[in-house]
Amino acid sequence: MSDPSEQPSQERAEGSATFRRPKEPTILSPAFAAVLFVLVLAGVLMWLALSAEKPSTQPSDDLGVTITVKFPGDVPDATEQSPANLEETEDDQVERKTRATDETAEKEGTGTAVLQKTEKSEEIIIEGELSDSEGAKTNIALVAPRAVINEIIPLALPDSTLLYESNQGALPIIGPDGREPWMVYGRKVPPAGTKPRLAVIISGLGLSADATKRAIELPKEVTLSFSPYGPKLEIDVVSARQAGHEVLLDLPMEPISYPADDPGPHTLLTSLNPSENIARLNWLLGRFKAYVGVINHMGSRFTASPDPLRPILRELKDRGLMFVDGRTTNKSVASDMARQINLPNASNDRFIDHDPTSRSIDQSLAAAEGQARARGVALVVARPFPVTLERMAEWLPMLETRGIEIVPITAIVDEQGTR
């Protein structure tokens, strides 16, 4: 039955069933069919075009981007550096930062890290191709925090106002303003705390180039004493002081075994009158500059003889120097006489290498630690034997963990008391 809405109005009004001729099917004209086909095809093509243009990811501009990042481990600011980091060398820091950047590059993409130094920072650029799913490539510049370099600040340069030019060389003097060489040329160290203090002197330097070089490589708190007969004294002393070491002069004095054991042509002798010994002293003092004082080389007879010793100690005081009694004999009166005339002084507690073997030296070093703990302050003297320098190089860095502070010789002036 067909839909009533398709019946003529008259027939619907009459409501009667009347035979009607069946309607003939409607046939679309060829022109209309063609138009319909074109519309359908256009719709399909438009849908396909819109689907193809819709991006699967957000578009990104192919631009170079500069970002500041923190490397793994968060490289701290200069004010947050620990004492251990402050000790780190510039090469170590460069290697560490380059390694951290390479690890970042492996996570983000591929590339080669190139270190570019500037005055205020170190810029590390990854010159690789970082790609996303669409193949976009981006170059990223990583700016590292400024490296903190633990520089060794050289000691004070030779001061012309603290020198007197003579025919025997430039001799140290007290300045017109009262400044004394032993204070000006010393290292500035913090006041003594609760830790025991230990001063270490390596004497006899300047004669062997290799031994001198190895001694200079020891921690800067070690005091280095140079023979007046070294062939390159000025160069060696400058190198030592640039590395931060305080410097002394070995002062040759007559031993009991003289002349079988002869400290050199300018040795101070008990047989000479005071003016002759002063002339020899001036020659010795003019060998190089910017030292804080002297330590006797040999001198077991001279340091036990008050009369020839007294004018020498007085001359050292008048020149603003300090005196270290090497105590080559237990009969030495040098320290007592120095205190009597207020000459800045220190006194050797132990020779480290009387027996220059590893075992004996290690025992002496252990005993030195015990003396420092028992007295609060101690001084040891060593010679530049290869085995001594080797054992020193291993022993010195461990002292801090054992609660002992290594200090230069001027830090213990007049601190030892009566021996």
Are 344 and 182 spatial neighbours (Cβ–Cβ below 8 Å)?
A: yes
Residue 43 belongs to a domain: no
User: CB count, 10 Å around CB of 179?
Assistant: 14
Q: What is the pLDDT of residue 192?
A: 86
Q: Which of 144, 169, 195 is the last residue of a domain?
A: 144
Domain identity same for 119 and 241: no
Domain identity same for 190 and 294: yes
Q: What is the pLDDT of residue 172?
A: 98
Q: What is the pLDDT of residue 416?
A: 84
Residue in this structure with the two tokens 């520089």, named with its chain if needed: 151
Are 151 and 89 spatial neighbours (Cβ–Cβ below 8 Å)?
A: no
Domain identity same for 82 and 188: no
CATH code where residue 238 lies: 3.20.20.370
Tens-digit pLDDT string for the chain (419 aa)? 444 444 444 444 334 344 444 444 454 566 666 667 767 777 767 766 665 554 444 444 444 444 444 444 444 443 334 333 334 444 444 444 444 444 443 444 333 333 333 333 333 333 444 444 444 444 433 333 334 344 456 689 999 999 999 999 999 999 999 999 999 999 988 888 899 999 999 999 999 999 999 999 999 999 999 999 999 999 999 999 999 999 999 999 999 999 999 999 999 999 999 999 999 999 999 999 999 999 999 999 999 999 999 999 999 999 999 999 999 999 999 999 999 999 999 999 999 999 999 999 999 999 999 999 999 999 999 999 999 999 999 999 999 899 999 999 999 999 886 54
Q: Which of 144, 176, 207 is the last residue of a domain?
A: 144
Are 380 and 201 spatial neighbours (Cβ–Cβ below 8 Å)?
A: yes
Q: How far apart are CA 221 and CA 311, in angstroms?
A: 31
Name every residue whose Cβ is closer than 8 Å to that of residue 392 and which is 6 or more positions away in sequence. 200, 202, 218, 222, 352, 365, 382
Domain identity same for 215 and 271: yes
Domain identity same for 277 and 217: yes
Residue in this structure with the two tokens 């050289």, named with its chain if needed: 154
Residue 199 belongs to a domain: yes
Residue in this structure with the two tokens 């481990």, named with its chain if needed: 73
Taken in order 367, 371, 377, 381, the sign of the CA dihedral is: negative
Q: What is the pLDDT of residue 354?
A: 93
Residue 358 belongs to a domain: yes
Residue 338 belongs to a domain: yes
Taken in order 119, 121, 122, 125, the sign of the CA dihedral is: negative
Residue 342 belongs to a domain: yes
Looking at the structure of the chain, the number of domains it has is 2
Taken in order 253, 256, 262, 266, the sign of the CA dihedral is: positive
Domain identity same for 189 and 135: no
> What secondary structure, in 3-state letters, does the chain show?
CCCHHHCCHHHHHHCCCCCCCCCCCCCCCHHHHHHHHHHHHHHHHHHHHHHHHCCCCCCCCCCCEEECCCCCCCCCCHHHCCHHHHCCCHHHHHHHHHHHHHHHHHHHCECCEEEEECCCCEEEEEEEEEECCCCCEEEEEEEECCCCCCCCCCCCCCCHHHEEEECCEEEECCCCCCCCHHHHCCCCCCCCCCCCEEEEEEEEECCCHHHHHHHHCCCCCCEEEECCCCCCHHHHHHHHHHCCCCEEEEEEECCCCCCCCCCCCCCECCCCCHHHHHHHHHHHHCCCCCCCEEEEEECCCHHHCHHHHHHHHHHHHHCCCEEEECCCCCCCCHHHHHHHCCCCEEECCEECCCCCCHHHHHHHHHHHHHHHHHHCEEEEEECCCHHHHHHHHHHHHHCHHHCCEEECHHHHCCCCCCC
Can you give the pTM of this predicted structure?
0.65
Domain identity same for 138 and 210: no
Residue 125 belongs to a domain: yes
Domain identity same for 306 and 385: yes
Residue 418 belongs to a domain: no
Domain identity same for 270 and 318: yes
**Cis (ω within 30 of 0) for the bond into 259?**
yes
Structural domain span for residue 185 = 160-412
Domain identity same for 119 and 172: no
Domain identity same for 212 and 133: no
Q: What is the pLDDT of residue 41?
A: 75
Q: Which of 144, 169, 188 is the last residue of a domain?
A: 144
Domain identity same for 105 and 228: no
> Strand 345-347 to strand 247-253: parallel, antiparallel, or no bridges (unpaired)?
unpaired
Residue 36 belongs to a domain: no
